[in-house]
């Protein structure tokens, strides 16, 4: 079964939702048969790389909050994150364009290290003091920690066209699926779960999606008169008889 997760590194509920989903997935009996793919979704597409502002400034401008309201929202977020075992800085965080991070995540996906990198990006953005915005070398360091080659990651970041089409394709697909916010989880292209739902909701969704998977239909060779071809199994391999 495949689970696709549309999210953004700047999205705090994506950070929390990922933890809740993984809690449900860890307890799922078929955990090893579930493929998780992370998809791109920018909360602020088109934002200039140089446009880096404090989170409180972004919230007051975008949502018309007072600074006190914005800080109260951050404190509430910190409480909910802590309940999931996550560290989060509720003060003095900044926010900027995540486009380069999404491009790097597509590169990491090709290398089989996407899951490792997205976890590091979330932690760096929400829990650590050093910014991840506007600092390519910071992103390279995180890529290396995730198991990627430093020069290859640096090359991706230096070319604004590298994996840009992949990011945009993910975002178009999100719109086609009806996702106008993140996190957004899609299970086997059959079920969608919107938002940072409790782990119990994700557990129910995984169970339902797994239970409704269509049974496998075997195709026989019509010329073989219904006979089964040779196979190997726990008792050994079939030996053709002369």
Q: What is the pLDDT of residues 54-88, one digit of tens each?
A: 999 989 998 899 999 999 999 999 999 999 999 99
Confidence band for 213, pLDDT divided at 50, 70 and 90: confident
Q: SS3 for 124-156, per residue?
A: HHHHCCCCCCCCHHHHHHHHHHCCCCHHHHHHH
Q: Where do runs of H (alpha helix) occur along the chain? A: 12-26, 55-63, 67-83, 99-110, 114-127, 136-145, 150-158, 164-176, 199-211
Report the C-alpha gap between 91 and 76 in whole angstroms: 12
- pLDDT at residue 219 in the model: 77
Q: Distance between CA 83 and CA 154 in Å, rounded? A: 36
Mean pLDDT over each residue of the chain, to the nearest integer: 93
pTM of the complete model beyond 0.85: yes
Q: Which residues sit opposite 210 in a β-bridge?
A: none
């Amino acid at each position: 079964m495949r689970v696709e997760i549309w999210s953004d590194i700047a999205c705090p509920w994506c950070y929390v939702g990922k933890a809740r989903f993984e809690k449900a997935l860890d307890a799922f009996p078929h955990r090893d048969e579930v493929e998780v793919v992370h998809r791109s979704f920018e909360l602020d597409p088109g934002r200039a790389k140089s446009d880096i502002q404090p989170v409180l400034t972004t919230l007051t401008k975008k949502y018309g909050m007072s600074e006190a309201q914005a800080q109260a929202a951050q404190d509430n977020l910190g409480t909910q994150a802590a309940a999931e075992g996550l560290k989060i800085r509720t003060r003095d965080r900044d926010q900027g364009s995540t486009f380069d991070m999404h491009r790097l995540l597509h590169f990491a996906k090709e290398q089989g290290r996407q899951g490792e990198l997205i976890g590091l990006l979330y932690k760096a953005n929400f829990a650590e003091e050093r910014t991840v915005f506007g600092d390519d070398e910071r992103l390279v360091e995180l890529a290396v920690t995730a198991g990627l080659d430093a020069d290859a990651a640096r090359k991706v970041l230096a070319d604004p066209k590298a994996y840009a089409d992949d990011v945009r394709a993910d975002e178009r697909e999100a719109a086609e699926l009806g996702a106008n916010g993140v996190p957004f989880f899609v299970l086997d292209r059959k079920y969608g779960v919107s938002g940072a739902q409790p782990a119990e909701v994700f557990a129910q969704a995984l169970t339902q999606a797994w239970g409704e998977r269509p049974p496998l239909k075997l195709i026989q060779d019509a010329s073989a008169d219904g006979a089964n071809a040779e196979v190997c199994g726990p008792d050994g391999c079939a030996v053709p008889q002369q």
